[in-house]
Amino acid sequence: MLDKLIYILPGIVLLLFAVNIFYKGNNVQSCLLFVLTLLPLMDLKVTNEAWGGFKVFDVICLYSLVFLLKEFTVINHYNPNGFYFFLFVLFAAIVLLGGLASEFPSRAYLNFFKVLPIFVFARFFLTECYKDPTFHKKAVNGLKIAYVGALSFLLIQSVVGLRFTFYPQLSPNTIDPIFKIIRYPGVFYDSQASGQYLALGSFLFLYVDKAASRKVHLLNYLVFVLAIAGISLAGSRAAFGGFALGLIMVFFMAARQYRVYGLVAVVVGYLIFSFVSLQTGVFDRTKNLSEDFLFRQSIWKEAFEISKKHPLLGIGSGNYQNYVIRHAQGQYLEVENGQLVYFDQPENGYLKIMSELGFIGFGIFVLFLIIPFLKGFIYYIKGIYNSNVAFFMAGLISWAIAFNTVYSIYDYRILIMVVSMIVLIVSYPVYDDEAELIPNKEI
């Protein structure tokens, strides 16, 4: 159905972006809110793989960098993000140097240029949050709109079938031929990515302004409940495990009223989850959990051995499949008609980064995740951040757990959501007695 539109949808989105600029102005906020609100469409390809496989998000970030260069380069003394800029420079250097040392340099160079758009987005986002603390809530609302759109797409897909999709061909794991199970991918190509996105973004709907009406609170909690059903339909065990751990964090950190509302939502969500699982059997694969773990473990060991052979700079960004085809030909799956598909990632996001970027690049990547999380937790303990920061931290940790089973940030929608959670934690507004918003300076 929708897969026939895949060739014209990118043009439509870019036309809408032009209209957005015309009516809302050529400024940072309008560009950021466009990306956040239409997040499910940001991964659509503008060019084919032979031309680099550039996507809608790449084009928007390039436009923003060129036409909003002054705002990009301005130095804001209230924006203490110099350390993150330093980390990015180091990370980009590792990607570039890894390409020079790689057996497959062309792919690594292309990935170097693809690192730049997310940096442009993150810098604009973080700078705008510090410049205008009210933008924080605007960004959250934009992400919520995008999430509702993606969740609605998934629920419709579960009713009308897999022909309701953006992609002519879906990931092989969408249909399990052994258990006869359908794992619905929603707006994504891969159902595991869909599960990660749904778990990651679900906690946004626990973040509700105290002054909001009862109706607004109920609608947000309803989406949170439906998100549990969505994760079940995606059939991602890792995403559900990450979601559960994030939920535990919320119960420990959030205020009492959120614990009560959350507990009610979880009970209702669990009933829906149980019904969905019973009807679809999406979690019946747990019967084969031991065998599945042993299979993954063998791949993880091989990936770690690759990392030890290339400890400093790795094998080059985006080169895992090329390397496997040449040096580790046992890493493949046999699909329909006896066709062999070599792994392009070792069923573990962290090991893919470690093998492709070496231990240095892996360390920098981990710092991008750990430092914002620690800042959020420490500022919460000190009383600088209120308890609501837990929702963004829970979303981040839910993804970090699921990332252990599959590399998902190849998809811009996952990457943008992860970076958004990091920015929302780092730039979390500071309140005086939870009433007066004050500038979030370096504290």
- Residue 240 inside a domain? The answer is yes
pLDDT of residue 426: 93
The domain total for the chain is: 1
Q: Which residue from 400, 364, 336 is spatially nearest to 170, judged by alpha carbons?
A: 336
Gap between the Cα atoms of 141 and 143, Å rounded: 5
**Residue 63 token pair:** 């436009």
Q: How many Cβ atoms from other residues are within 10 Å of residue 58's Cβ?
A: 22
Closest by alpha carbon to 166, among 175, 176, 157, 177? 157
DSSP at 45: B
Any domain includes 162: yes
Which residues form the domain of 82?
2-287+345-438
Of 171, 10, 136, 31, nearest in space to 430 by CA? 136
Give a yes or no: residue 335 inside a domain: no
In tens digits, the chain (443 residues) has pLDDT values of 565 677 789 999 999 999 999 999 899 999 999 999 999 999 999 988 777 789 999 999 999 999 998 888 876 655 556 788 888 989 988 988 888 878 888 777 777 787 899 999 999 999 999 889 899 999 999 999 999 999 999 999 999 988 888 888 888 778 876 666 788 999 999 999 999 999 999 999 989 887 888 899 899 989 998 998 899 888 888 888 899 888 888 888 876 666 666 666 666 656 666 655 555 555 555 555 566 667 778 889 888 999 999 998 899 888 898 888 888 777 777 666 666 777 888 889 999 999 999 999 999 999 999 999 999 999 999 988 988 999 999 999 999 999 998 899 999 999 999 999 999 999 998 754 444 455 454 44
Closest by CA position to 257, among listed 434, 413, 85, 377: 434
In a domain, 366, yes or no: yes
Residue 305 in any domain: the answer is no
Instruction: For residue 303, tell me if it sits in a domain.
Output: no
Question: Sign of torsion, CA 11 13 17 18?
Answer: positive
CA 168 to centroid of chain Cα atoms: 23
Q: Is residue 200 part of a domain?
A: yes
SS (H, E, C) 217-283: HHHHHHHHHHHHHHHHHHCCHHHHHHHHHHHHHHHHHCCHHHHHHHHHHHHHHHHHHHHHHHHHCCC
What lies within 8 Å, CB to CB, of 299 at 6+ separation is 331, 343, 346, 347, 348
pTM of the model as a whole: 0.90
Residue 14 within any structural domain of the chain: yes
